[in-house]
Amino acid sequence: MTHSGDISEFFKHYGDNSRFLKTALRQFSNDDLMNFFREKGLGIIIDKNGKAFPRSGNSRDVLAILIDECKKNNVRINYNEAVLKVEKRDRGFWIKTKNNEYICHKLVISTGGKSYPSSGSSGDGYDLAEDLGHTIVSPKPALTPVFIKDYKLGEISGVSLQNRTVYLYRDNKKIREHRGDIGFTHTGLSGPGILDFSRYMEKKDILKIDFANRKGEDFTRTFIEAAEREGKISIGKFLKGYDIPVSLVRIILMELGLDRNEKLAFINKKMRTRVVDSFCEYPFVIENIGGFDIAMVTRGGISLNEVSSKTIESKLVKDLFFAGEVLDIDGDTGGYNIQAAFSTGYLAAISLGSTGA
Ligand SMILES: Cc1cc2nc3c(=O)[nH]c(=O)nc-3n(C[C@H](O)[C@H](O)[C@H](O)COP(=O)(O)OP(=O)(O)OC[C@H]3O[C@@H](n4cnc5c(N)ncnc54)[C@H](O)[C@@H]3O)c2cc1C
């Protein structure tokens, strides 16, 4: 539902657009969200990574509370009635749905992103906002696994590595780095360290992963020292000191054409450099980023330059507000997206109320 960390820590988790959320997250923080649900009787548990879940493990319990609150506050929900068109007219907004037409004085667009269209959000909000004059930052899948070209690690799918550094290269230049847990799939890479970083990745980029969890120079130094001091130890034994799954070590050594029993003292400088490269900067060429069908969030959306971060009201169209993922905001895994949706929703509700009927 959210993350239990200090709210000031949240700002690191929304890529380059965190600042926009300052007012929203402070107005309705993670504590406010958890307290709201606790007061309505929901048990909440926090896991070892700080993520907050309903104690029952059942999202229906969260939904039931929200629907109940809507009922108590006379909010009418018109199901199965997609909004097809919105226009600003003299008397307010004109809204055309599948079955009806409506007029309202104030409008909040909170139609979500484009990812997981099976959950109802297929990007309609972008068209509605664009028709009202807003600019859309091109929506792309984020929080998504990546597919790797000529992937050789499919046989260890399910294996994961804790807290490794991933370097992102584009046109032979290192452009970013990130740390997190990495998971191997049948076709590529996943896990929080990849999902959270995926917002910056493009097709054909190269990811290099430090499997040994040591910078290359450090690994090289230890390698040389070990070869000098105890040259008789095997490369297999040497690598055991690095918390790398045996199955991964086996595949990499096979790729290098190196027997795991080879003594360190007999590994020449050229091969040593290849060993260091493979274990400290193993390259993966991105064939594709997972599509909207499997991405958990959408990066891009309604341009933040045209929305007030203080009131979440459009700077272009009076009485038009936005909330949630339809905005150009995407958070890391761990509850940051739902929190952003609740916080911006809350801010929109307060701003609606304070600007008169
Ligand atoms: C599989 C999955 C797992 C996730 N896990 C987490 C997690 O653990 N923690 C986390 O923080 N985030 C998670 N997210 C992301 C999070 O769910 C979203 O960021 C969040 O729900 C966005 O809220 P929203 O209200 O902006 O949009 P949504 O929740 O997408 O709601 C948008 C609503 O608008 C409706 N709608 C769309 N178009 C129209 C239209 N034309 N007319 C009428 N209604 C329309 C849709 O039917 C939908 O009900 C996950 C997402 C997915 C897909």
Mutate to test the pocket of ligand 1, among 121, 144, 312, 333 (most ligand atoms within 8 A of CB): 121
Q: What is the pLDDT of residue 187?
A: 96
160 and 286 part of one domain = yes
Ramachandran sector of residue 253 (left: φ over 0; alpha: ψ -120 to 50; beta: rest): alpha
| Structural tokens at position 336 | 């940051």
| Structural tokens at position 282 | 């193993």
Q: Mean pLDDT, to the nearest integer, of 278-288?
A: 96
pLDDT per residue as tens digits for the range 191-239:
999 999 999 999 999 999 999 988 767 888 888 888 888 878 999 999 9
Domain boundary (290, 306, 337) is at: 290
Q: Mean pLDDT, to the nearest integer, of 76-82?
A: 93
**Is the distance from the beta carbon of residue 158 to the nearest atom of ligand 1 less than 6 Å?**
no
Mutate to test the pocket of ligand 1, among 337, 339, 346, 347 (most ligand atoms within 8 A of CB): 337
CA-nearest of 8, 112, 116, 3 to 52 is 3
138 and 195 part of one domain = no
Q: What is the pLDDT of residue 91?
A: 82
Measured between alpha carbons, how far is 252 from 259 in angstroms, rounded to an integer?
10
**Is the distance from the beta carbon of residue 165 to the nearest atom of ligand 1 less than 6 Å?**
no
270 and 138 part of one domain = no
CA 97 / ligand 1 centre spacing (Å): 20
Domain boundary (252, 273, 290) is at: 290
CA 105 / ligand 1 centre spacing (Å): 25
153 and 85 part of one domain = no
Measured between alpha carbons, how far is 49 from 105 in angstroms, rounded to an integer?
43
114 and 249 part of one domain = no
Residue 115 CA: which ligand 1 atom is closest? 53
Q: Mean pLDDT, to the nearest integer, of 314-343?
A: 97
Mean of the per-residue pLDDT values for the chain? 94
* Structural domain harbouring 99: 2-142+294-354
CA 114 / ligand 1 centre spacing (Å): 9
Measured between alpha carbons, how far is 265 from 183 in angstroms, rounded to an integer?
33
Backbone angles phi, psi at 19, to 5 degrees: -60, -30
In this model, does residue 121 exceed pLDDT 80? Answer: yes
CA 337 / ligand 1 centre spacing (Å): 9
Residue 97 CA: which ligand 1 atom is closest? 42
205 and 114 part of one domain = no
Domain boundary (290, 310, 344) is at: 290
Which is it for strands 282-289 and 146-148: parallel, antiparallel or unpaired?
antiparallel
- Alpha helices (H) in the chain, listed in sequence order: 7-10, 22-27, 30-39, 59-72, 124-131, 192-195, 216-229, 235-239, 246-256, 269-280, 336-354
* Number of domains comprising the chain: 2
32 and 90 part of one domain = yes
29 and 111 part of one domain = yes
195 and 258 part of one domain = yes
Q: What is the pLDDT of residue 140?
A: 93
* Nearest CA, atom 3, ligand 1: 296
Q: What is the pLDDT of residue 357?
A: 46
233 and 101 part of one domain = no
CA 189 / ligand 1 centre spacing (Å): 24
pLDDT per residue as tens digits for the range 149-173:
999 999 999 999 999 999 999 999 9
* Nearest CA, atom 8, ligand 1: 335
132 and 153 part of one domain = no
Q: What is the pLDDT of residue 190?
A: 97
CA 119 / ligand 1 centre spacing (Å): 7
42 and 153 part of one domain = no
| % of the chain surpassing 90 pLDDT | 87
pLDDT per residue as tens digits for the range 237-261:
999 989 999 999 999 999 999 999 9
The torsion of the CA quartet 155, 179, 257, 147, rounded to 10 degrees, works out to 40
What CATH number should be reported for the domain holding residue 132?
3.50.50.60
Helix (H) or strand (E) holding 139: strand 136-142
| % of the chain surpassing 70 pLDDT | 99
